[in-house]
Amino acid sequence: MSTQTTSRQVRLLQGNEACADAAIAAGCRFFAGYPISPSSEIAEYLSTLLPRVGGRFIQMEDEIAAMGAILGAAVTGVKAMTATSGPGYSLKQENIGYAIMAEIPCVIVNVMRGGPSTGLPTSPAQADVMQARWGTHGDHPAVALAPASVREVYEETIRAFNIAERYRIPVTLLVDEIIAHMRERVVVPDPSQIVLWERPRPTVAPEQYLPYGDTPSGVPPMADFGTGYRYHVTGLYHDPRGLPKDSPEVVDGVLRRLMRKIEQGIPEIQKYEEEGLLHATIGVIAYGSAARSAKAAIRVAQERGLRIGLLRPLTLWPFPEAAVRSLAERVRHIIVPEMNLGQLVLEVERVVAGRCPVHRVNRVTGEPIPPDEILAKIQELTAA
């Protein structure tokens, strides 16, 4: 028997537990957070796991402080994470904007629940999709990932750290409550099989270092505080040394570089799944737990001889425009089921641009979308 086979572990994991385990495997060594349903198990697990690997766990006084704490840890060179839900995610937005401007890598896990306000603390929703894109003010890049199984929670947590580190950007993992609290069989890989990306670090002497200088990738090297490299960190527009500047040329250059580094990284960042689309006349675009219901509905429809397929984005932001545009050119209808009143569907409609009709299946009751509702929409469109 091979070493690779014997070193793997097959475990029955809860989604939140898988997230915590994967964070450790990704090299996370600092977590700051504040208890909030339905994400609290992530903090609970990490409070036990981090000390075992030399890491640090701290419960902060509120969500704003928790976000600030992980940014402080990250600039020292540590991989850092926090976890929250909708109301806490709202409170973190100012510091998320700071992380984008100061290019501080970190991971924010948002276990989504119903809102607005306190809403439905223990019920599922997909209510924070647009907040993940435009929650903080100003033009800015954003990366958000949406797993649909416990296994994918494990994989996408590691990928979130990889993207955050390589591109010096906060990355949001959007997990709806169903995925966070269900238990599924997960094959946990041996650590030697996990590929980790690290942040770019300077190769020049401290006196030559430009913490925000441009590079071909758009991502400047990041020195760890405490290693002899001194530089200014600010949320203001700044020159390559980090010193505040407000000239039009500097402002334009900084913002365009922040956007460019993610646009150039789309081939690495973008991830989606396609099933049954080769001869499909109807395409379903779904993510998270809604995609699980969509798959069940599609299986029944296909058994009835209907030509239906699924496009499932695991990367919600940057939005998979090319894949959606290609789908719109091949099918007669697109269906978008979401546990909200229509968020990602707005991007679908924008990209489809009238190439075919886009139909919504929405639920905001604190319950998952049943496959029957998606199947009913499929039957309605095929009968028309």
Same domain, 279 and 317: yes
Number of domains in the chain: 3
Residue indicated by tokens 């600092």: 30
Residue 198 in any domain: the answer is: no
Measured at the CA of 145, the angle between CA 144 and CA 149, to 5 degrees, comes to 155
Same domain, 255 and 279: no
Average pLDDT of the segment spanning 236-240: 97
Between CA 194 and CA 315 the distance in angstroms is: 20
Instruction: Categorize the per-residue pLDDT at 2 as very low, low, confident or very high, splitting at 50, 70 and 90.
Output: very low
- 4 pLDDT exceeds 90? no
Average pLDDT of the segment spanning 367-381: 97
Q: Residue 234 belongs to what domain range?
A: 206-267
**C-beta atoms surrounding 122 within 10 Å:** 12
Same domain, 186 and 218: no
Residue 163 in any domain: the answer is: yes
* 46: nearest Cα among 26, 62, 64: 26
Last residue of a domain, one of 267, 289, 311: 267
Same domain, 17 and 143: yes
Last residue of a domain, one of 235, 250, 267: 267
Residue 69 in any domain: the answer is: yes
Residue 200 in any domain: the answer is: no
Residues 256-308 have pLDDT tens digits of 999 999 999 999 999 999 999 999 999 999 999 999 999 999 999 999 999 99
Same domain, 251 and 287: no
Last residue of a domain, one of 193, 220, 252: 193
Residue 112 and residue 125 in contact, taking contact as beta carbons nearer than 8 Å: yes
Between CA 359 and CA 343 the distance in angstroms is: 13
- 325 pLDDT exceeds 50? yes
pTM: 0.96
